[in-house]
Amino acid sequence: MNEIILLKLGEMVLKGLNRRSFEDKLQANIHRRLNRFGQFRVYTRQSATYVEPKDGSCDVQGAYEALKKVFGIAGLSLARPCEKDKDAILAAAREFLDDRLRAARTFKVEAKRADKTFPMTSIQLSQYVGGELHEAYGSLSVDVHHPELTVYVEIRDFAAYVHANAEPGAGGLPVGINGRAVSLLSGGIDSPVASWMIAKRGVALDMVHFFSYPYTSPEAKEKVLELARLLTPWCGVLTVHVVPFTAVQEQLRRSCPEELFTIVMRRFMMRISQEVAARCGAKALVTGECLGQVASQTMEAMAVTGQVVSLPILRPAVGMDKEEIVQISRRIGTYDTSILPYEDCCTVFTPRHPRLRPTLAEVERAEEGLDIEGMVRAAVEGVERVQIRP
């Protein structure tokens, strides 16, 4: 018999969203994510979700690792099936949980019967298995209140299952349950983390990357596509909209006061991203901006940048220290790619003394005479769409 995976679902008390749509979305995401590990049956009973391999060819361990990156799952554990017999259950526990039984100092056994025809009560079964394990592992003592290790035994219709404490899952909400947003993905550390944070709250993402060939190299673009690929285990399939940005930047270099170049350029990024959002049904923009990190991330600069779009701009990293962002980046696996030394379009033509507190009036004056609509349209029409699969 194959091992199965048990999932504890995340935040169920959702205002305005019901439990059913949470479960349906999560199950659909799980199926998509597990495709390459074989065929699985996924169903929910009494707030636990079961992921069962349909046959022996499934890669259950691979599936288990993949599920650690699926948002909406609060905890997960592998369970070993065995015959519905007290000694078969004991043997399964000893074999399957041997490492953990050796490592723990305190434990308890918690048995549960869905099949009420099983000849022992839950309490009798817990006592039997607990007593035998206590005897077999000399270093273990029983603690029913705060055990390090809980051995769970479940008697279900066709088999009994043994498992231990759940490992923490990715948490959050199933991707897609909160709509779609467009995330501005640079090659840096912050924007992949910001994207991940918003995906964690149940938002499906499309990525926009501004590419300034030949000022930024094909390697810089590959790096961004690789960052998107690293995010797919969390976010699912991603489309990266690569925007040709050279013409806009060259035009702005010719016509903008140098100290306002970056802020005007960022307004174009927002306008273009909003057009992309309209085309893919996205209802917000996401950036990796962080208050005070660079000149374009003062409150004044953010206000002037945000003024050109009507969609909300989500900046989940706005209140974080760099160190905190780096920590998440390492944990989700994007850090090593983010620090590869390729230039970004934001660092091309960077003014020596960017204006820290731009006013809307001076920025609008700097944009006078530009064919804003035409520049945005040309950029959007030149978009290359790259689909990235997990």
Q: How far is CA 189 from CA 198, 298, 371, 379, 387, in A?
A: 15, 19, 33, 25, 22
Min dist CB 73 to Mg ion, Å, is: 31
Q: Is 274 exposed, middle or buried (0-12, 13-18, 19+ CB in 10 A)?
A: buried
Strand partners, 286: 183, 314
Residue ranges binding Mg ion (CB under 5 A): 186, 188, 344
Partner from ligand ATP, Mg ion, none binding residue 209, C-beta < 5-8 Å depending on class: ligand ATP
Q: Which has the closest alpha carbon to 162: 102, 86, 106, 220?
A: 86
Q: Which listed residue (29, 296, 329, 334) binds ligand ATP by CB under 6 A?
A: 296
Cβ atoms within 10 Å, residue 384:
12
Q: Minimum Å distance from CB 94 to Mg ion?
A: 53
Question: Does position 260 bind ligand ATP by CB under 6 A?
Answer: no
Q: Do 376 and 318 touch, CB atoms closer than 8 A?
A: no
Asked if 237 contacts 390 with a C-beta cutoff of 8 angstroms, the reply is yes
Taking CB atoms, the residue at the shortest distance from ligand ATP is 188
If one asks whether residue 246 binds ligand ATP (CB under 6 A), the answer comes out as: no
Q: For ligand ATP, what does the binding mask look like between residues 263 and 292, x meaning CB under 6 A?
A: ------------------------xxx---
Inter-residue contact 135 to 142 (CB < 8 Å): no
**Closest distance of CB 265 from ligand ATP, Å:** 9
Q: Contact between 315 and ligand ATP (CB under 6 A)?
A: no
DSSP 5-45: EEEEE-----TTS-HHHHHHHHHHHHHHHHGGG--EEEEEE
Q: Number of residues interacting with ligand ATP: please give it, by CB under 6 A.
A: 19
Q: Which stretch binds ligand ATP (CB under 6 A): 36-44, 126-134, 151-159, 185-193?
A: 185-193
Query: Can you tell me which of 17, 91, 120, 294 binds ligand ATP, judged by CB under 6 A?
Result: 294
Nearer to ligand ATP, 181 or 185 (CB): 185
334 binds ligand ATP (CB under 6 A): no
How many Å is the maximal CA-CA distance in the chain? 85
344 lies in the binding site for ligand ATP (CB under 6 A):
yes
Alpha-carbon span 226 to 221, nearest angstrom: 9
Of the pair 80, 221, the CB lying nearest ligand ATP is at 221
CB-nearer residue toward ligand ATP: 322 or 377: 322
Side-chain half-sphere exposure of 374, counting CA atoms within 13 A: 5
Q: Is the Cβ of residue 186 or residue 298 nearer to Mg ion in the bound state?
A: 186
Contacting ligand ATP (CB under 6 A), which of 161, 210, 234, 268? Answer: 210
Query: Using omega within 30 degrees of 0 as the cis cutoff, is the peptide bond preceding 358 cis?
Result: no
Cβ–Cβ < 8 Å for 182, 208 = yes
Q: How far is the CB of 344 from ligand ATP (least distance, A)?
A: 5
Binding site for ligand ATP (CB under 6 A): 184-186, 188-191, 208-210, 287-289, 293-294, 296, 344-346
